[in-house]
């Protein structure tokens, strides 16, 4: 399968993508993770990307598309892939379409996670991430056993700069203006399947599986 997940920040795309990619044995390609790794490494690309991410703005298309192109050309992506957080704009979607056409690997399905804004704000502002291993927790719905300490590795938990309330509001505004038009774009191509992104992780996973198979 070659699938892309769409949805606003905090919609739960990453959680579902990790599980589904393991089941399908295809790479989970998360642009956010790729950019944060580059930022943490202090590379020129990473530092440039960090300036945009810290204020909730989108990283320029040419930076993202170049990274995706390199990743999709790797051998483990030849049997399929799951894109998480890409594309985010019509221009990126057009660039991805050209790239996949060149590779002979068009998308099979685009799945949209529909989640209300109050729930998105609650999820994002309460998220805490481990500095060491990247594992995510939530102060209300999925707290660590010890406050501020990762259950998985004992690392320090912190709130990402892009999860502050002010930045979350900006991220959702950016999404509405620049990313939401992708829904119409992919609907016109017959690729979009929309699922309700609220409920238990297990319930959402069943909806994702059905959507990926083309079931209602």
**Annotated catalytic residue 101:** no
What's the pLDDT at 215? 57
Domain boundaries, the chain: 2-124+166-212
User: Is-above-0.85 flag for pTM?
Assistant: no
DSSP 177: I
Architecture label for domain 2-124+166-212? 3-Layer(aba) Sandwich (3.40)
- Of residues 2, 36, 109, 127, which has the active-site annotation? 127
What's the pLDDT at 213? 82
- Of residues 88, 109, 123, 207, which has the active-site annotation? 88
**Separation of alpha carbons 100 and 71, rounded Å:** 12
Could you tell me the mean pLDDT of each successive run of 10 residues in the chain, 216 residues long?
91 88 91 79 80 80 79 88 90 92 93 91 90 90 92 94 86 85 94 92 91 74
Q: What is the 3-state secondary structure (H, E, C) of 131-174?
A: CCCCCEEECCCECCCECCECCCCCCEEECCHHHCHHHHHHHHHH
């Amino acid at each position: 399968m070659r699938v892309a997940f769409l949805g606003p920040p905090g919609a739960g795309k990453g959680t579902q993508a990790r599980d589904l990619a393991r089941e399908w044995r295809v790479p989970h390609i998360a642009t956010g993770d790729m950019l944060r790794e580059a930022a943490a490494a202090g590379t020129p690309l990473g530092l440039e990307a960090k300036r945009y991410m810290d204020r909730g703005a989108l990283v320029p298309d040419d930076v993202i598309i170049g990274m995706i192109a390199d990743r999709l050309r790797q051998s483990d992506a030849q049997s399929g892939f799951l894109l998480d957080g890409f594309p985010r704009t019509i221009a990126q979607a057009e660039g991805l379409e050209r790239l996949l056409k060149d590779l002979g690997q068009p998308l099979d399905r685009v799945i949209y996670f529909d989640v209300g804004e109050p729930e998105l704000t609650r999820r994002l502002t309460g998220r805490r991430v481990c500095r060491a291993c990247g594992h995510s927790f939530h102060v209300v719905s999925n707290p660590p056993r010890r406050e501020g300490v990762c259950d998985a590795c004992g690392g320090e938990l912190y709130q990402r700069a892009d999860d502050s309330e002010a930045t979350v509001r900006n991220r959702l505004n950016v999404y509405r203006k620049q990313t939401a038009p992708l829904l119409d774009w992919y609907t016109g191509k017959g690729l979009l399947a929309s699922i309700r992104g609220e409920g238990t992780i297990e319930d959402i996973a069943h909806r994702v599986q059905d959507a990926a198979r083309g079931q209602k």
